[in-house]
Amino acid sequence: MTGFPWLTLLVVLPLAGAIAVFAVQERSIKVTALAVAVADLLISLPLWWLFDASSGEMQFMESARWIPSLSINYRLGLDGISLPLVLMTTVLMPLCILISWHSIEIRMRSFMAMLLIMESAMIGVFTALDFVLFYVFWEAMLIPMYLLIGIWGGPNRLYAAIKFLLYTLAGSVLLLVAILVLYFQGGHTFDIVQLSQGTYSNSLQFWLFLAFFAAFAVKVPMFPFHTWLPDAHVEAPTAGSVILASVLLKMGTYGFLRFSLPMLPDASQAFTPAMVALSIVAIIYGAYMALAQSDLKKLIAYSSVSHMGFVTLGLFMFNIQGIEGAVMQMVNHGITTGGLFLCVGMIYERTHSRQIADNTGLTKPMPRYATFLVIFSLSSLGLPGTNSFVGEFMVLAGAFLWSKIATAFALLGIILAAAYLLWMVQRVAFGVPDPHMLPKLRDVNLREMITVVPLVVLIFLIGLFPNPILTRMHPSVEKVIARAFPAATEQTSTMRQADPLSPTVKQITSPTGPAFGQGAQVSPEGQPQ
């Protein structure tokens, strides 16, 4: 399919913006960066409607020769899995720029340039259809992120920055070897679509899966490769934390879904028990660690480990509910955790502390702020009516089909999430305010409102009407599953009917399910006063 080069425009515009930022005058840096990010968002929005939801094929494809002597091509495309992730990225970037409006005090020019370069690379990762091109985008974001943490980060930033870089670099080098091996085994091509249709021997799949796993598991991060995450999150500036949590982590799970599952279906199924075990450990361990944190950012960082555990759990269920739930959860986690980090950033700007003990009783002085914090927290713990409920429910429904015991353990994570988030909300929103801090506690201003309101809208929009996203990703997800089970979709549909849960499961994918009507009734009760 040829036509207007939407995707190239999406990738190139922020890059051009990054250069433009260096050219403009000091006072218009922020405006320029914001304008570029908003323009990118506006370019990405039409894709939502232009996208053909009935097709599981790649759309908006672009192809050009890049290094023909090594058969490397420039190929971009979008399917139902990458579409929501690209949109999530373009929605979040303007917010990241807005939240950094005053909080960045040094080298604003370079900061904005780094953010825009990151945006290019992230959209590139989600749209690349050539494996080398994917790898280039995947690695290209390491240095900007390293600089974001290392230059604009907190007191321990040097350690956090190099730890982030070395961890992710070490993970991804094996990916490169795996890509090259696939090239020679898969018919001398780096074309992702073509490689996803090949068949590879079991032993080859085994090794490739491990190599892919090293790259993606570090990025997700799955237990026990998560130790870089709390450090990076805590030290990064707010915008950096948002990008890390909302987009970078998704690249890992996106990698599993785009490469491991369709290219290595046999190995993926063989490794499923191990992946489920690691996911459940991550869910429970992350939640348990979050309970023990006194630093807000660290708490959210560990909650990310727990939430990403749900995503990897859903992915390896190899059924519609699990995988669609996982993709939903990727988007949801991006929105919700992004919102939580924005909230922490706002309060840090005022009190210069991220400690829960220093930021208590904010409801009185900052009622609007407290409202947002409560909404994001409730969304994060999966309250019906909010976005995370849809995703987590689908993942658990998918997991239930695979193993009831595993589901029971995963449910523990939801209970613990309620515990650490509500306890955090109780202290931060409803505790006794520190009298020394009171003068600093101005309520959320208009700029900050603009930063968080879009996310709040999305939380309820997805929570109440998840269907537009689900229908768009459905054909693409079915294609992935069809790769794992050559007997195609019949198998999943029989599994669905054989299970007592099936009515509920079907309602989720149907346009207006009573499950969501119910959710809508519950959510007002969950609202803060």
| Binding residues vs another protein (CB under 8 A) | 66-70, 132, 135-136, 139-140, 142-143, 146-147, 150-151, 157-158, 161-162, 165-166, 169-170, 173-174, 176-177, 180-181, 183-184
Nearer to another protein, 61 or 169 (CB): 169
Q: Judged by CB, which is closer to another protein: 69, or 529?
A: 69
Between 162 and 411, name the residue whose CB sits nearer to another protein: 162
Q: What single-letter DSSP state applies at residue 52? A: -
Paired tokens of 71: 């058969």
| CA max distance for the chain | 69
SS in 3 state form for 444-511?
CCHHHHHHHHHHHHHHHHHHHCCHHHHHHHHHHHHHHHHHHCCCCCHHHHHHHHHCCCHHHHHHHHCC
Query: Which residue's CB is nearer to another protein, number 48 or number 159?
Result: 159
For 305-323, letters b (16+ CB in 10 Å) and e give bbbbbbbbbbbbbbbbbbb
Q: Which phi and psi (to 5°) does residue 485 adopt?
A: -115, 100
Residue 291 has a CB neighbour count (10 Å cut-off) of: 17
* Identity of the residue, 117 or 441, whose beta carbon is nearer to another protein in the bound complex: 117
Minimum distance of another protein from residue 135's CB (angstroms): 7
- Kindly write down the DSSP assignment for every residue of 314-336, as one continuous string: HHTT-SHHHHHHHHHHHHHHHHH
68 vs 524 by CB, closer to another protein? 68
Neighbours of 328 (CB within 10 A): 28
Work out how close the CB of 69 gets to another protein at its nearest, in angstroms, rounded to a whole number. 4
Taking the complex as a whole, how short is the minimal distance between the CB of residue 31 and another protein, in angstroms? 22
For residue 122, report the phi and psi dihedrals to the nearest 5 degrees: -70, -45
C-beta of 201: minimal distance to another protein in Å?
14
| Cβ at position 387, least distance to another protein in Å | 34
**Spatial distance between the Cα atoms of 235 and 232, rounded to a whole number of angstroms:** 5
Q: Is 318 left (phi over 0), alpha (psi -120 to 50) or beta?
A: left
Query: Residue 74 in 3-state DSSP?
Result: strand
Question: Nearest distance from residue 13's CB to another protein, in Å?
Answer: 17
> Is 186 strand, coil or helix?
coil
Nearest distance, CB of residue 184 and another protein, angstroms: 6
Between 88 and 132, CB nearer to another protein = 132
Question: Closest approach of Cβ 178 to another protein, in Å?
Answer: 8
Which lies closer to another protein via its Cβ, residue 142 or residue 461? Answer: 142
Measured from the CB atom, the residue of 72 and 375 that comes closer to another protein is 72
Closest approach, Cβ 168 to another protein, in A, equals: 10
* Three-class SS state of 73: strand
Return the ∠ at Cα 514 (arms to 511 and 519), rounded to 5°: 105
Judged by CB, which is closer to another protein: 170, or 522?
170
Smallest distance, Å, CB 11 to another protein?
Answer: 12
Q: What is the distance between the alpha carbons of residues 239 and 116, in angstroms, rounded to a whole number?
A: 12
Query: Tokens at residue 361, please?
Result: 């009783």
